[in-house]
Amino acid sequence: MVGLAKIAMECLQDPLSWLFVASVVIVLLQRRQRGKAPPLPPGPYALPVVGNMLMMDQLTHRGLLELAKRYGGLLHLRLGKLHAIAVSTPEYAQEVLQAQDGAFSNRPATIASTYLTYNRADMAFAHRGPFWRQMRKLCVTKLFSRRRAGTWLAVRDESAALVRAVARRSGESVNLGELILNLTKNVTFRAAFGTAGDGDGGKQDEFIAIIKEFSQLFGAFSIGDFIPWLRWADTQGINVRLRAARAALDEFIDKIIDEHMKRGKHPDDVDADMVDGMLAFLPEAKPKMAVGDGRDDLHTTLRLTRDNIKAIIMDVMFGGTETVATAVEWAMAEMMHNPNDLLRLQKEITNIVGLDRNVDDSDLDKLPFLKCIVKETLRLHPPFPLLHHETAEDCVVGGYSVPQGSRVMINVFAIGRDAKAWKDADTFRPSRFMPGEGEATGVDFKGGCFAFLPFGSGRRSCPGMALGLYSLELIVAQLTHGFSWALPDGMKPSDLDMDDIFGFTAPRATRLCVVPTPRLVCRFITDLDSTRQTTSFVSVGGI
């Protein structure tokens, strides 16, 4: 006994031994503490060190839906050092997005996304707190607001340009998915920088190449995100690509900021773009546009840096481009798959608008079935199928522990197809929302119904919802009213591939290709711009 005590005393004189003993004590105390806390939510068995990392390919909306069938609406996975929680029922969604919203409103970020957002200098990746609140106010009241007329005009112009482009291809198979994605890229480019896509093709192509690289890097797998002591290992050379991508963005946007500062447009001008709007908060901008002019609360308190401007522009590009394009393409695809719904919508629009012009803004609120098509599309195909949140503190949900710093994935896709919440949950049936006809009349996606969350709910819900919805409704209405549509090569509606793929959003696995025939009262014009001298249609009403 004396011998043992002597050995222990000798060991403890060595600092390394002290460290070892202290670690053992901490682990034991943590275990004791955890013994008192509620258990973690159920989930598959986690291996030592790597946990469930071998299941990474199942962390998609469909993979997590399958896991939820086995483990329940709140399930736990261990990804290296990280706790990950998947939420797959409306009840649990309400708990994390409403009842405990404050604790669940941080945003997880990888090493790559932290670097690419200039250390969370944007809104989408900023943790909840005073900075994020101010950024959100800036976006909602200044940047995405209806008062920034140029953005809404860009949607109208680009939608009309799409209709004209499709009309020129009457009777041919057109890749509608690709055309729609180009349209939304043009809109966000114009909204951010004010330049019309067509007139500035080179610049826009350069920017799209930067976005593509950002997008790949955002999704790149890095072992250091899950096992921190392996952060030094950069086996795929991602760090070099990250530095190059950010340098390219710096060069591109710095030039645009300088040009905008030189022209000195007032941020409230009708044709001011988002960069003009943000320069009003950049201290180095011209005095007449400088911060602190006391116009409102935000102007006296918010100071932006160039990094903030770049990071917010990327939020707009990522938040507003693929989301709208994905939803429009799905709406058109579902109507091709369900031709009776296409005919019903065409009939509704024809009754209100007539056949001598296309739909405009003032028609949209008179088209209830159009709203039903949009809702049903967003229910079955939410552009962001998973919402990514992080817990700011230890929480308890449904009797289970959710530790601080957990990654929380709210499976909006699974929730929108929850059989307890929705009748014929997997069927596209827009009339379910039709006033006086369907069982889901009055159900909305503004955030109060936790079975229907395409724009999220609570603090982190989408600040661009009004713009996104407007774009979605106008483009779908104009395409539907402008043309009769057929599938190419004698394909039947039931042959249409309706699979999706998981990425930044959940777009169609195969692009939608369709054959248009103009259906408005038209006059022929010869398309002199076209080298093929084709004859195309333009509506007398001026689409």
Q: Which residues pair with 78 in a beta bridge?
A: 83
CA distance 504 to 519: 35
> Dihedral of CA 284/289/293/295: which sign?
negative
Residues 442-461 interacting with ligand HEM (rule: CB under 6 A): 454-456, 460-461
Q: And the tokens for 288?
A: 């007449």
Q: Which of 116, 253, 311, 324 binds ligand HEM (CB under 6 A)?
A: 324
Is residue 123 close enough to count as binding ligand HEM by CB under 6 A?
yes
Residues 18-77 interacting with ligand HEM (rule: CB under 6 A): none
- Residue 188 Cβ, how far from ligand HEM at the closest point, in Å? 7
- Residue 322 Cβ, how far from ligand HEM at the closest point, in Å? 9
Is residue 117 close enough to count as binding ligand HEM by CB under 6 A?
no
- Counts for the chain of helices (H) and strands (E), in that order: 18, 11
Q: Which of 136, 164, 299, 306 binds ligand HEM (CB under 6 A)?
A: 136
* Comparison of 184 and 346: residue with beta carbon closer to ligand HEM: 184
Which strands form 483-486's sheet, in the order they lie side by side? 174-175, 513-518, 483-486
- Residue 234 Cβ, how far from ligand HEM at the closest point, in Å? 28
Is residue 367 close enough to count as binding ligand HEM by CB under 6 A?
no
* Comparison of 204 and 536: residue with beta carbon closer to ligand HEM: 204
- Is there a contact between 327 and 381 (Cβ–Cβ < 8 Å)? yes
Q: Which of 332, 335, 370, 467 binds ligand HEM (CB under 6 A)?
A: 467
| Cβ neighbour number for residue 110 with a 10 Å cutoff | 18
> Cβ contacts of residue 174 below 8 Å, gap of 6+?
166, 513, 514, 515, 516
* Comparison of 173 and 215: residue with beta carbon closer to ligand HEM: 215
Q: Which of 468, 482, 507, 516 binds ligand HEM (CB under 6 A)?
A: 468
Distances in whole angstroms, Cα of residue 178 to Cα of each of 182, 502, 511, 514:
6, 18, 7, 12
Q: And the tokens for 104?
A: 């669940």
SS3 state of residue 245: helix
Residues 373-392 interacting with ligand HEM (rule: CB under 6 A): 383-384, 387
CA dihedral 219, 174, 321, 421 (to 10 degrees): -80
Annotated binding site: 462
Site string for ligand HEM, 275-314 (x = CB under 6 A): ----------------------------------------
If you compute the radius of gyration of the chain from its CA atoms, what whole number of angstroms results? 26
CA distance 177 to 13: 71
Q: Which of 118, 144, 413, 537 binds ligand HEM (CB under 6 A)?
A: 144
| Cβ neighbour number for residue 50 with a 10 Å cutoff | 16
Residue with tokens 């060595």: 14
Annotated binding site for heme: 462
Chain center to CA of 290: 32
| Cβ neighbour number for residue 470 with a 10 Å cutoff | 18
Q: Which of 87, 124, 155, 512 binds ligand HEM (CB under 6 A)?
A: 124
* Comparison of 317 and 487: residue with beta carbon closer to ligand HEM: 317
Let me know the angle formed at the C-alpha of 334 by 332 and 338, rounded to the nearest 5 degrees.
Answer: 115
* Comparison of 476 and 543: residue with beta carbon closer to ligand HEM: 476
Q: How many CA atoms lie within 13 A of 497 on its CB side?
A: 10
Scanning 138-175, the segments in alpha helix (DSSP H) are 149-167
CA distance 455 to 462: 5
CB under 6 A: which stretch of 25-33, 71-79, 260-268, 320-328 binds ligand HEM?
320-328
CB under 6 A: which stretch of 6-14, 18-26, 87-95, 317-325 binds ligand HEM?
317-325
Q: Which of 80, 150, 197, 463 binds ligand HEM (CB under 6 A)?
A: 463
- Residue 330 Cβ, how far from ligand HEM at the closest point, in Å? 10
Is residue 145 close enough to count as binding ligand HEM by CB under 6 A?
no
Q: Which of 327, 414, 451, 512 binds ligand HEM (CB under 6 A)?
A: 327
Q: Which of 100, 134, 182, 323 binds ligand HEM (CB under 6 A)?
A: 323
Can you spell out the DSSP letters for 296-346? SHHHHH----HHHHHHHHHHHHHHHSHHHHHHHHHHHHHHHHSHHHHHHHH
Q: Which of 108, 177, 319, 416 binds ligand HEM (CB under 6 A)?
A: 319
Is residue 408 close enough to count as binding ligand HEM by CB under 6 A?
no
**Segment (H or E) for 66:** helix 61-71
Size of the site for ligand HEM (CB under 6 A): 25
CB under 6 A: which stretch of 202-210, 292-300, 315-323, 479-487 binds ligand HEM?
315-323
Q: Which residues pair with 396 in a beta bridge?
A: 401
Q: Which of 41, 43, 73, 320 binds ligand HEM (CB under 6 A)?
A: 320
CB under 6 A: which stretch of 245-253, 323-331, 339-347, 349-357 binds ligand HEM?
323-331
Contact footprint for ligand HEM (CB under 6 A): 123-124, 136, 144, 315-316, 319-320, 323-324, 327, 383-384, 387, 454-456, 460-464, 467-468, 472
